[in-house]
Amino acid sequence: MRSLLALAVALVACRNSSEAPAQRGAAGSAGSAAPGSGSAAAGSGSADPWAAQAAPRPPDTPETRKARAERALQRVATILPEVAKLRALTYDRAVPTKYQLPAEFQAFVRREIARELPGERSRDLSAAFAHLGLLVKPIDIATVEEQAMTTQAGAYYDPAAKAFFLVMVPDSDLMLDTISAHELTHALQDQHFNLTRYLPSDGSLDEDAAIARRFVVEGDATFVMLQYAMHGVLGDKISPIAMTTLRQQIAQFAALDIDALKAQAKAQSSAFGMMDDDIKKSIDAMDDIPPAVLVPLLDSYMKGALVALVAYEHGGWPSVDKLYRKPPESSEQVLHPETKLFPVPERPRRVKLAKSADRELSGNVLGELQWRIYLELWKSPRAAEAAEGWGGDRYSVTRRSDGHLVGRIATTWDSAKDAEQFATAYIASLAARFPGADTSDPAAGIARPDSGKVFVRTIGKRVFIVDGARAAAELEELIRTSKFDG
């Protein structure tokens, strides 16, 4: 499930390529315009091909979509060697391809999510996230995960089936071939690095480490996808100047926050006359997906591309390959690859909480990315900066015998200043989550409107939080029993 293409990102990336458009050669789709920024095609004097393709088109039908899909899958044979050459890996076996109807894809996603997030586990995780404030309102995580996947995936590679499936079929050979290049890179990754083992779904990885690995997998594929698009413009040789331009583009998109990315995708959807209704629907649906689910999904593409690019700059493709043999361990590393991952990884500090007598609904690592999402969700001042000093954390949400929930969180930060900055931002978030609550003395407790209080205390580089406690003694117990590896 972690190998799906977030189509909105691919569309924005293609539309904003800074290279001048040109016709693809025999290795690509004959007559298809390569991605461009709106400048005239080299030597042709024609206008922006994206705009040209926006002219009215005949009504679409299931038959015309299937025919486009079949033609796109036939072109895979010409895309495979290009992708292999760009990625400096070889295909050891054939990659089966298939066109899958959206309804079939939705059924596949539902089955996979039911396996990974069965009913009770989904309800528990949903309740835990809502209690901690990662959700504005209670929702069902499994339903939202399904929505995120089915509305954002134009195609996918399934590591279990070892096959590439095309789902959405825009009326553009360029888009189809670009999507294919991305997913065929996943096939290469799987054949050389075993994606099933790299992205396990059995809970053996904490969630923050899983997010970091997703950045590697999707970022690597996005980096290749963008080079593939550029290759279609420039031919076999991509100059250092072109690579510099590509780096600027990746850095630009990696810097976009989720609101900017969604706004840009929506603005561009209205300009793409060739875009089918399924794709427009997928972009519009982004507003309904909570940031805690959507942001890790979308950030893994362009921010992940920056991870792949930085690794490439430190030693070419062998350096990227090394990210599979020695994976990053935290979202902090992949959010700051130039300082936290290279030249030497800054390892997260592990935190262990004492086991509660109450039933645990969820316990895991939030990491820098989810803390940033949380603080931005509640409009805390300088949210991203407040999350940047993250060093490690662990949370646990349990249900007491009276039915009320208690969240316990122990965090550690790079410095006492970072810890204080985070604590200040977190307390500001409580004022937004619980309007009217007195936040003047967090150590004495900030009343929740449902039940209990939130207690917060900073001790050196560590910040401790009990959310929903009856008394301050529960904070003291958390402080006394939490263990840190450094």
Residue 92's pLDDT is 96
Closest CA to 478 of 452, 454, 450, 449: 454
Residue 209: the pLDDT is 98
Ranges 133-142, 183-192, 275-284, 318-327: which has the least confidence: 275-284
CB atoms within 10 A of CB 39: 12
Domain hosting residue 171, numbered range: 4-341
Same domain, 305 and 451: no
**Distance between the two ends of the chain, CA-based, in angstroms?**
34
Rounded CA-CA distance 412/400 in Å is 26
Closest CA to 423 of 371, 477, 366, 471: 371
* pLDDT tens per residue, range 425-473: 999 999 999 999 999 988 889 999 988 999 999 999 999 999 999 999 9
Is the pLDDT higher at 316 or at 236? 316
Please tell me whether residues 211 and 323 are part of one structural domain. Answer: yes
Sign of CA dihedral 248, 254, 260, 262: positive
User: Residue 396 above 60 pLDDT?
Assistant: yes
Q: Do 146 and 32 share a structural domain? A: yes
| Percent of residues, the chain, with pLDDT higher than 70 | 82
pLDDT at residue 265 above 90?
A: no
Same-domain status, 330 and 384: no
Predicted model pTM: 0.87
**Does 328 share its domain with 356?**
no
**Across 365-392, average pLDDT:** 97
pLDDT digits (tens, 9 = 90+) for 139-170: 999 988 888 887 667 889 999 999 999 998 88
User: Beta strand 351-352 with 163-166: parallel, antiparallel or unpaired?
Assistant: unpaired
Nearest alpha carbon to residue 428 among 468, 373, 375: 375
Interval 73-118: pLDDT, tens? 999 999 999 999 999 999 999 999 999 988 898 889 889 889 888 9
HSE of 219 in the Cβ direction (CA atoms, 13 Å)?
Answer: 32
Domain count, the chain: 2
Q: Is residue 201 part of a domain?
A: yes
Q: Which residues contact 378 (CB under 8 A, 6 or more apart)?
A: 133, 428, 429, 432, 433
What is the chain's alpha carbon radius of gyration, rounded to the nearest angstrom? 23
Average pLDDT, the chain: 85
Are 111 and 63 within one domain?
yes
> What mean pLDDT comes out for the span 161-184?
90
Label residue 21 by pLDDT band (50, 70, 90). very low
Mean pLDDT check: name the lowest of 53-57, 134-138, 450-454: 53-57
Q: In this predicted model, which residue has the larger pLDDT, 62 or 41?
A: 62
If asked whether residues 336 and 392 sit together in one domain, one would say: no
The pLDDT value recorded for residue 33 is 26
pLDDT given for residue 154 in this prediction: 80
Q: Compare 27 and 140 and report the one with higher pLDDT.
A: 140
Q: Is residue 23 part of a domain?
A: yes
pLDDT at 9 over 70: no
pLDDT at 34 over 70: no
What CA dihedral angle connects 467, 473, 475 and 481, to 10 degrees?
-130
Whether residue 65 sits in one domain with residue 11: yes
Rounded Cα distance, 483 and 354, in Å: 8
The rounded Cα 216 to chain-centroid distance in angstroms is 10
Q: Is residue 452 part of a domain?
A: yes
Structural domain contains residue 326 = yes
pLDDT tens, residue by residue, 269-309: 554 444 556 666 667 777 888 999 989 988 999 899 999 99
Pick from 2, 35, 40: which is nearest to 19 by CA? 35
Residues 327 and 387 both lie in one domain = no
pLDDT of residue 486: 67
41 has a pLDDT exceeding 60 = no
Mean pLDDT of 370-388: 96
- The yes-or-no verdict on residue 137 having pLDDT over 90 is no
**What is the model's pLDDT at position 149?**
80
Question: Which of 341, 363, 393 is the endpoint of a domain?
Answer: 341
pLDDT of residue 278: 62
Q: Does the pLDDT at position 8 exceed 60?
A: no
**Tokens, residue 304:** 């992940």
Q: Answer whether residue 157 is part of any domain.
A: yes
- What is the pLDDT averaged over residues 325-340? 98
pLDDT: which is higher, 122 or 261: 122
* Pairwise CA distance, residues 164 & 97, whole Å: 5
Give DSSP secondary structure letters for 102-168: HHHHHHHHHHHHHHHS-HHHHHHHHHHHHHHTSSSS---HHHHHHHHHHHHEEEEEETTTTEEEE--
Q: Is residue 346 part of a domain?
A: no
Q: Which residue do the tokens 């393709």 mark?
A: 53
Q: State the pLDDT at residue 38.
A: 29
For residues 425 and 478, state if they share a domain. Answer: yes
pLDDT tens digits, 338-366: 999 999 999 999 999 999 999 999 999 99
Residues 360, 318 share a domain: no
Residue 313 pLDDT: 96
H helix or E strand, kind and range, residue 266? helix 258-269
Between CA 312 and CA 185 the distance in angstroms is 16
60-74, 251-265, 363-377: which has the highest mean pLDDT?
363-377
Answer yes or no: do 329 and 355 share one domain.
no
Distance CA 422, CA 333 (A): 18
